[in-house]
Amino acid sequence: MLTIYINDLELEVEEGSTILEASEKIGIKIPTICFHDRLTPPGLCRQCVVEVEGARVLMPSCITKVREGMKIKTDSERVVRARRTILEMLSSSTDLSESPDLLEQMKIYKAEDGRFENSSKRNFKVKDDNPFYMRDYSKCILCERCVQVCSADIQFSYALTTAGRGYNNRITTFFDRKLPETSCVFCGNCVAVCPTGALIASNEFNVKALGEK
């Protein structure tokens, strides 16, 4: 067991646990986006960052292991600024209307919806190229979970990839082919892990569209 301090609270935790796990144990909620407890944590959204005494930058709590004597602040000014700004940027570029968890986080962090000018808002036409599910990449937050489950984390179909670079990253298939022309087996794992409604079963999509009319 190791002794660590979270927000000045002393606690004993097992060696090998992450800061996120340790915090959960004492009921401190740290927000996450890309983390999924059954997938390899990619540590890419950085929403779970915390301040660790002595570290130059903030540390992602979902993948940072506790060390003896570690002093952690989960809600310092730097932490809150980072979380709020990440949400404000996401909401400026992406349609978060079907992401209840993110909308909830925006409330908690008093993030201003669409704070940054959106001359470059991500707008894509819905891809409807197979009978099973649709892809609305205007809602995609690039957590890359779908690519993970399609590849070595679960399915080994390798139909999906991230293409592009930086802000222009996008999830797609080999040469942007239609899904039926790829190695996709329509297992549905990607739809199951998508947190934002960018991937949605076709029947569900149609029901929603009807409801809106």
Would you tell me which residues interact with other proteins (CB under 8 A)?
33, 42-47, 49, 57-58, 60, 63, 78, 81-82, 84-86, 88-90, 92-93, 115-117, 119-120, 142, 151, 158-169, 172-175, 182-183
Q: Is 114 in the site for ligand FES (CB under 6 A)?
A: no
At which residue do the structure tokens 């540590």 appear? 43
Torsion of CA 66, 70, 76, 81, to 10 degrees: -50
Query: Which residues, numbered 186-205, are part of the site for ligand FES (CB under 6 A)?
Result: none
Residues 6+ apart with CB under 8 A from 173: 159, 160, 161, 179, 181, 182, 184
Residue 197 binding partner per list ligand FES, other proteins, none, with a CB distance cut-off of 5 to 8 Å that depends on partner kind: none
Judged by beta carbon, residue 23 or residue 182, the one nearer other proteins is: 182
Residues 6+ apart with CB under 8 A from 42: 34, 143, 144, 148
The SS3 of residue 169 is coil
Q: How far is the CB of 101 from ligand FES (least distance, A)?
A: 12
Judged by beta carbon, residue 23 or residue 93, the one nearer other proteins is: 93
DSSP secondary structure of 69-83: T-EEESS-HHHHHHH
Q: How far is the CB of 136 from other proteins (least distance, A)?
A: 19
Asked if 70 and 1 touch (Cβ cutoff 8 Å), the reply is no
* The one among 6, 60, 96, 160 contacting ligand FES by CB under 6 A: 60
**Piece of 45-53, 71-79, 150-158, 199-207 that binds ligand FES (CB under 6 A):** 45-53
Which residues here bind ligand FES, judged by CB under 6 A? 32-35, 43-48, 60, 62
